[in-house]
Structure 1
Amino acid sequence: MLLTVQGVDAYCYTGGKPFDAALPTVVFLHGAQNDHSVWALQSRYFAHHGFGVLAVDLPGHGRSKGAAKASVEELAAWLLELLDAAGVAQAALFGHSMGSLIALETSHQAPQRVRQLGLLGSTYPMKVSDTLLETSRSDEQAAIDMVNIWSHSSIAQKPSFPGPGFYAMGGAMRLKQRISQINPAQVFYTDFFACNAYANGEAAAKAVRCPTLFIFGLRDMMTPPRSTKLLTSSIAHGKVVQVDAGHELMAEQPDAVLDALVGFARA
């Protein structure tokens, strides 16, 4: 589904069903150098089981036009405009990595618009090493290689992976390369810069009152579980679920992630 947000096209995958704003809406927010497709299993399941689904392509990513936003605050403001364009008064926001910061900041900017928060592979502060930040600007393919290795717990597929013919690391690599091909304006650097610069996370977390779910990968090297204490202590009422995966937990443990999200959304 194409919407017009800030004067340009904004794409939302609706899970294979026409979007119905009268249903409970779930918004899926991807991470750096990704698009809506990282939520393929989860978004389709929700769309076919009683929810309205908006799995967005952030500005400058996938099918959404415009420049990539340089701050989490700008991305949250964009998301609120997208909800207006879709006719959605309130939604559950499920965000992965950078997307989790966008969900968190959106709940701070407009708490009345957020019914539930699902924060996956999240941490605060979400600092990016100087080496990775500079590499993403000077040698994007090298940065893609680095992140792809660090984001997976192993090169072997997990038992819950979709099946023969699928390769998690290869798929993640090609997606990041495709984003580079679609938009050569250093999207990876812009995304990492936004994560690294975001400074409102603690205040936003302390202000959260809606039901919140954290899903962490036990072997996540990008946002390791030990780094999440500030976030989880600031949202003390949040429920924590851990899955045997790295940072790409929706791909490595799709069923476990889906089960946790569905149980949370229906609670």
Structure 2
Amino acid sequence: MLLTIQGERAYCYTGGKAFNPAQPTIVFLHGAQNDHSVWALQSRYFAHHGWNVLAPDLPGHGRSGGPALDTVEALAAWLLALLDAAGVVRAMLAGHSMGSLIALEAACQAPERVTRLALLGSTWPMKVSPALLETARTDVQTAIDMVNIWSHSSIAQKPSFPGPGFFAMGGARRLKQHIAARNGQQVFYTDFSACNAYANGEAAAASVRCPALFIFGRRDMMTPPKSTRLLTSTIAHGQVVQVDSGHELMAEQPDAVLDALFGFASTSI
């Protein structure tokens, strides 16, 4: 699905199904230097089991035009504009890493529009080390390699990768390289800067009243479990699920993530 948001083209993957306004809607939000494809399994399952799916490429990422937006607040406003353009009044939001901050801020800006909130690989503050920020600005390939190593729990999941024929680390590396080649070298730096500067996380979390779900990777080095306590204590009614993975939990444990998300989405409010 192609939409026009704030004067720029925005691409949304719909999970292989036509958009049906009569069905509930879930929006999947990707993280830094990624696109909609990181939600491949989860988005298709929801789309084929009674849900509208919007898995957008954020501005300046993948097939969406315009520059990458440099604040979480601007990205949340863009998301709400996307819902308007798609004719969606209310939706469940699921965000990974940077996408989780966007979902959280959107729920703060327009709480009446968010039915449920799922935050994956999330933390606040989401600080980025000065060394990684500078590397993302000056040497994007090295930054990609650094993040790719830190985002996975191992080189190859044991006894085998959950998606036979695919290599999680190699696929993640190539996607980030593709984003850099297609959308410019500064996307990673812009994304990291937005995460690093976001200051409204605690206030946004305190405003959450809708059902909430946290999904964390037990071996996540990018947003380690111990760093998540402020969010989980502030959204005290949130359900917490841990899966055996690093930060790339949708790739390393796709079925466990899907089970948690779909079970959460299917419970009555």
Alignment TM class, shorter chain as reference: over 0.9
Query: Which residue in the other structure is 1:30 paired with?
Result: 30
Please give the residue correspondences for 1:99-248 in structure 2 after superposition, counting only pairs within 5 Å: 99-158=99-158, 161-248=161-248
Please give the residue correspondences for 1:64-79 in structure 2 after superposition, counting only pairs within 5 Å: 64-79=64-79
**Cα distance, 1:185 vs structure 2:** 4.5
Q: What amino acid is the match of 1:253?
A: Q
Q: Determine if contact 1:160/1:252 at 8 Å carries over to the other structure.
A: no
Q: What amino acid is the match of 1:51?
A: W
**Cα distance, 1:183 vs structure 2:** 1.1
- Secondary structure of 1:16's counterpart equals coil
Taking a change above 3 Å as real, the CA distance of residues 159 and 212 of structure 1, as seen in their structure-2 partners, is: farther
Cα distance between partner residues in 2 of 1:117 and 1:223: 18
Q: What amino acid is the match of 1:190?
A: T
The alignment's C-alpha RMSD in Å is 0.9
Cα distance between partner residues in 2 of 1:103 and 1:124: 13
Q: Determine if contact 1:157/1:167 at 8 Å carries over to the other structure.
A: no
Q: What amino acid is the match of 1:181?
A: A
Q: Determine if contact 1:160/1:253 at 8 Å carries over to the other structure.
A: no
Q: Determine if contact 1:158/1:252 at 8 Å carries over to the other structure.
A: no
Q: Determine if contact 1:153/1:245 at 8 Å carries over to the other structure.
A: yes
The structure 1 segments of at least 4 consecutive aligned residues displaced by more than 4 Å after TM superposition are none
**Cα distance, 1:161 vs structure 2:** 3.5
Q: Determine if contact 1:160/1:254 at 8 Å carries over to the other structure.
A: no
Taking a change above 3 Å as real, the CA distance of residues 160 and 79 of structure 1, as seen in their structure-2 partners, is: farther
Q: Determine if contact 1:71/1:194 at 8 Å carries over to the other structure.
A: yes
TM-score by length of 2: 0.98
Q: Determine if contact 2:94/2:118 at 8 Å carries over to the other structure.
A: yes
Deviations along 1:177-231, one digit per CA (max 9) or x if unpaired, are 0000111140000000000000000000001000000000000000000000000
- Identity percentage over the alignment? 79
TM-score by length of 1: 0.99
**Cα distance, 1:20 vs structure 2:** 1.3
- Secondary structure of 1:251's counterpart equals helix
- Secondary structure of 2:4's counterpart equals strand
Match status 1:89 vs 2:94: no
Taking a change above 3 Å as real, the CA distance of residues 31 and 230 of structure 1, as seen in their structure-2 partners, is: same
Q: Gaps spanning 5+ residues in structure 1: where?
A: none
- Secondary structure of 1:172's counterpart equals helix
**Cα distance, 1:159 vs structure 2:** 5.1
Task: Select between 18-27 and 63-72 the one with higher mean Cα deviation.
Answer: 18-27
**Cα distance, 1:115 vs structure 2:** 0.3
**Cα distance, 1:44 vs structure 2:** 0.1
Q: What amino acid is the match of 1:112?
A: E
Q: Gaps spanning 5+ residues in structure 2: where?
A: none
Q: What amino acid is the match of 1:148?
A: N
**Cα distance, 1:19 vs structure 2:** 1.1
Query: Which residue in the other structure is 1:40 paired with?
Result: 40
